[in-house]
Amino acid sequence: MSAYDVAIVGLGPTGATLANLCGQHGLRTVVFERSTSPYSQPRACHLDAEVARVFQQCGFEAELQPLLTVSAGMEYVDAHGRRLFTFEGFQREPLLGWSEDYVFLQPQLETMLRRGLSALRQVDVRLAWEAPPLASLLEEASFVVACDGGASRVRDEIGAGFIDLGYDEHWLVVDLMLHRQPVPPLPTVIHQVCDPDRLTTFVPSHGAHRRWEFQLRGDEQPDPWQLLAPWGVTKSHGDLVRAVPYRFHALVADRWRGGPDGRVLLAGDAAHMMPPFMGQGMCSGVRDAANLAWKLAEVVRGASPDELLDTYEAERRPHAEAVIELSIEAGRTLARLAADPTDLPTPATADPNRWSRVPGLQLGGEFPVGHQLPQPDHLDSRLPLGWVWVAADGSFTAPDGHRVVVEPRATYGRRAVLVRPDRYIAAVAS
């Protein structure tokens, strides 16, 4: 018998979320992370309701609140800041128990996730520890999950490659921490600036953090302060945290499961990478972790056959690819509107909630199968970790021995819905 049920390579947001969930499920888990503390520079600064709910499931509801600011929305504007198109006006009620969009600071969030692990006895975190070769990991653990980022070594070790989905641009990412005074006249909503001279994204992030992303031409190395000057921002307004060129690309691993007997799985950036226009890279990794953790737990316990783990890629990959397509489209919309400000996207393709609200799991059956369970009034805190029926009234009897929780506001008008451990609806009672 292996010393561990699961070995996780990498303690970024994906690995840390998975480790928390594995610990909750009682899996004997070991995590290898080569650094000693979370990557200190801001990267992700947007997350959505479904992701906040996963962190709630990890036990961070109270700790998370002060780390988040509700996002005021996103507009496409012309070079003069005049609105061309906005995502506002789409339905945004807090269906899942959280607002649809938040801004936050990735280092703060990762610190929270790591703190949670120290309370989980079954999770052995090895910091400043380069993960051993895959063959050794497979001797130590029944399953290995590669959460080792875009340059994943484990992905190479199982012979998986990246499929290029067709986006490759260089942008300069500029992060500023504002001083208290003087306050520059910056927008309060995310701006996608369709300026034919330079496409730009501006994010009014959490607290004092402000983010710009400037499209680069060739190998130019512009002075960030010169780029900020048209925004009315000077050195008197804040400290430049960094100005780093990034390659924005769109990649998905050609398989997410491999190694001997399929004991190796890929998650997070190791499995997919996308341009940041929809703020969904980290969110997708957290969704991977939520989808995978309970399946690993069921297979390790012998409650489900090993084939359950095949459903991880079957469910997550089409969703990740759809989110990548949406992110590419959001980037291309900038260029299109810069060329022709009247070439507006149609609402059907532009709805940013399409993927976070209804992630399109094809579990079969009638609506709302495959959708997330709504969460009125902190419902999740009344649900067990595993499978549960949520019923419209107390007369419902579970046909399968699972617990029944009564909450008529969460059943989409049905008599009862069977909810998976990751809070997706698996079946509807007739």
Ligand X SMILES: Cc1cc2nc3c(=O)[nH]c(=O)nc-3n(C[C@H](O)[C@H](O)[C@H](O)COP(=O)(O)OP(=O)(O)OC[C@H]3O[C@@H](n4cnc5c(N)ncnc54)[C@H](O)[C@@H]3O)c2cc1C
Q: Compare residues 356 and 411 and give the one whose CB is closer to ligand X.
A: 356
Among 19, 158, 283, 369, binds ligand X (CB under 6 A): 283
Report, in Å, the least distance between residue 342 CB and ligand X: 29
Report, in Å, the least distance between residue 293 CB and ligand X: 14
**Is the bond preceding residue 182 a cis peptide, omega within 30 degrees?**
yes
Instruction: Confirm or reject binding of residue 352 to ligand X (CB under 6 A).
Output: no
Report, in Å, the least distance between residue 306 CB and ligand X: 24
Q: Compare residues 15 and 116 and give the one whose CB is closer to ligand X.
A: 15
Q: Which of residues 28-47 bind ligand X (CB under 6 A)?
A: 32-35, 43-47
Rounded to 10 deg, the angle between the 310-339 and 281-301 helix axes is 170
Instruction: Confirm or reject binding of residue 254 to ligand X (CB under 6 A).
Output: no
Region binding ligand X by CB under 6 A among candidate stretches 6-14, 86-94, 183-191, 193-201? 6-14
Q: Compare residues 250 and 379 and give the one whose CB is closer to ligand X.
A: 250
Instruction: Confirm or reject binding of residue 101 to ligand X (CB under 6 A).
Output: no
Sheet with 425-428, strands from edge to edge, namely 403-406, 388-391, 416-419, 425-428
Q: Compare residues 44 and 67 and give the one whose CB is closer to ligand X.
A: 44
Per-residue DSSP letters for 403-423?
A: EEEE-GGGSTTSSEEEE-TTS
Helix (H, G, I), strand (E, B) or coil at 261: helix
How many residues belong to the site for ligand X (CB under 6 A)?
A: 34
Region binding ligand X by CB under 6 A among candidate stretches 7-15, 86-94, 161-169, 395-403? 7-15
Instruction: Confirm or reject binding of residue 173 to ligand X (CB under 6 A).
Output: yes
Instruction: Confirm or reject binding of residue 9 to ligand X (CB under 6 A).
Output: yes
- The DSSP secondary-structure symbol of 88 reads B
The alpha carbon dihedral of 79, 81, 85, 91 has a sign of positive
- The DSSP secondary-structure symbol of 58 reads T
Contact 242, 202 (CB under 8 A): no
How many Cβ atoms from other residues are within 10 Å of residue 297's Cβ? 22
Site string for ligand X, 108-147 (x = CB under 6 A): ----------------------xx---------------x
Task: In whole angstroms, give the CA distance from residue 297 to residue 21.
Answer: 10
Task: In whole angstroms, give the CA distance from residue 11 to residue 240.
Answer: 27
Q: Compare residues 104 and 387 and give the one whose CB is closer to ligand X.
A: 104
Q: In a 10 Å sphere around its CB, with 0-12 CB exposed, 13-18 middle and 19+ buried, how is residue 25 labelled?
A: buried
Question: Within a 13 Å sphere around the CA of 343, how many CA atoms are in the beta-carbon half?
Answer: 10
Instruction: Confirm or reject binding of residue 282 to ligand X (CB under 6 A).
Output: yes
Q: Compare residues 14 and 411 and give the one whose CB is closer to ligand X.
A: 14
Task: In whole angstroms, give the CA distance from residue 177 to residue 261.
Answer: 49
Q: Compare residues 279 and 352 and give the one whose CB is closer to ligand X.
A: 279
Question: Within a 13 Å sphere around the CA of 206, how many CA atoms are in the beta-carbon half?
Answer: 22
Instruction: Confirm or reject binding of residue 279 to ligand X (CB under 6 A).
Output: yes
Among 23, 276, 352, 359, binds ligand X (CB under 6 A): 276
Region binding ligand X by CB under 6 A among candidate stretches 8-16, 133-141, 324-332, 407-415? 8-16
Which positions touch ligand X (CB under 6 A)? 9-15, 32-35, 43-47, 106, 130-131, 147-149, 153, 173, 246, 268-269, 276, 279-283, 285
